[in-house]
Amino acid sequence: MTAIRHVRLDRTQETPSTNPIFNGSVSTQEVVNDALGELLRVTAVTFEDGAVNRPHRHTTDQVLIATSGNGFVAGDEEHHPMQPGDVTFIPAGTRHWHGADAGETFTHLSILTPGHTEILDDEGAG
């Protein structure tokens, strides 16, 4: 049976993340998971007070859409501020990291297709 699913982003629906990719306090709300979508994963990720993820790369492209607060996305040779309404495209295989600015809470939607995420060393991150 096919049905449209409507979801409201709601901080009270987030759960604290214990994923080792994160440094600091991070919570997530699954919007589209593998039980719902065959070819798409959407997760709201909230980084508290300067929390970030460790450098990593995906085997698929990734899109980040900032929904609240102030944060950033960075790579080895670039750093892009993000605020609500900003959209970032990260090509598959690109070493990158993202998170909240110091003293800020930042939420973005992470949009991926099924694939693998590889956590890399922290050299150059921060």
Give domain limits for the chain: 19-116
Instruction: Residues 19-116: name the CATH superfamily.
Output: Jelly Rolls (2.60.120.10)
Backbone CA torsion sign across 19, 20, 25, 26? negative
What string of pLDDT tens digits covers the 126 residues of the chain? 468 888 889 888 899 999 999 999 999 999 998 888 889 999 999 999 999 999 999 999 999 999 999 999 999 999 999 999 999 999 999 999 999 999 999 999 999 998 888 898 776 555
Q: Nearest Cα to 125, choosing from 24, 55, 48?
A: 55
Q: pTM for this one?
A: 0.90
Structure token pair of residue 47: 């980084």
| CB count in 10 Å sphere of residue 34 | 11
Q: Nearest Cα to 45, choosing from 74, 20, 65?
A: 65
